[in-house]
Amino acid sequence: MSEKFTILTVCTGNICRSPLGEQLLALGLANVPEVHVESAGTQALVGKGMTEQSQAIASSLGVAHPETHASRQVTEDILDQANLIFAMSREHRRAIVELNPRVSKRVFTIREFARLAQGTSAADLAAEFAPGPFGGGVDTSTIGRLKTAVAAASASRGMVPPPADPELDDVIDPYRQSQDVYNRSARELKPAVDATVQFLQTALTIEV
């Protein structure tokens, strides 16, 4: 792991959903210099930019230069370097864990993570920073706090009820679809990004 807290977003081609998620997360966490956000694809169209529709949506949501994105293929090493991995669908999550089982506890679909985050209160997070029975608490540096937040979300997987429809943990793929589908995909992704950013920001501001 590097000295940055690395968030990785993953979809199929790395030209629609994952780069949009990457850019929105980077925007929402721009005030945290220790965070680095990047993206990759399970079947990447290597070197390609975001689709025009995704670029337009990114721009409308405040991203300054969406045209600078270049697709890349996800690898075992890229996954190893990531502290938090957001798949855009359950299919991508399965592919990620098959490629690198070591990351299973830190990979989520982004809508799944948002659901877990919303089910983890500030009090729950604060408890994670409490001293252990033999004294001493967890690492309260920025990176330490973020790692603790991810661990808390992972631990809540068995306690936060799953959605009635499993597809509600996925972000729909808009590639080669209509503008309406692109808009729907963004409507599914943006609230999940917002909930994620809020959760991580909360972890950084809890008094310990």
Instruction: Give the per-residue pLDDT at 121.
Output: 83
* Number of structural domains found in the chain: 1
Instruction: Give the per-residue pLDDT at 136.
Output: 52
- Record the tokens describing residue 55, joined without a space: 């670029």
CATH number at residue 14: 3.40.50.2300
| Tens-place pLDDT, residues 128-175 | 877 665 445 678 899 999 999 999 999 888 888 888 899 999 999 999
Instruction: Give the per-residue pLDDT at 135.
Output: 46
Structural domain boundaries, residue 68:
5-205
Local confidence pLDDT in tens for the 208 residues of the chain: 458 999 999 999 999 999 999 999 999 999 999 999 999 999 999 999 999 999 999 999 999 999 999 999 999 999 999 999 999 999 999 999 999 999 999 999 999 999 999 988 888 888 887 766 544 567 889 999 999 999 999 988 888 888 889 999 999 999 999 999 999 999 999 999 999 999 999 999 988 7
Contact 33/57 with Cβ under 8 angstroms? no
Sheet holding 35-41, edge to edge: 35-41, 5-11, 84-87, 107-109
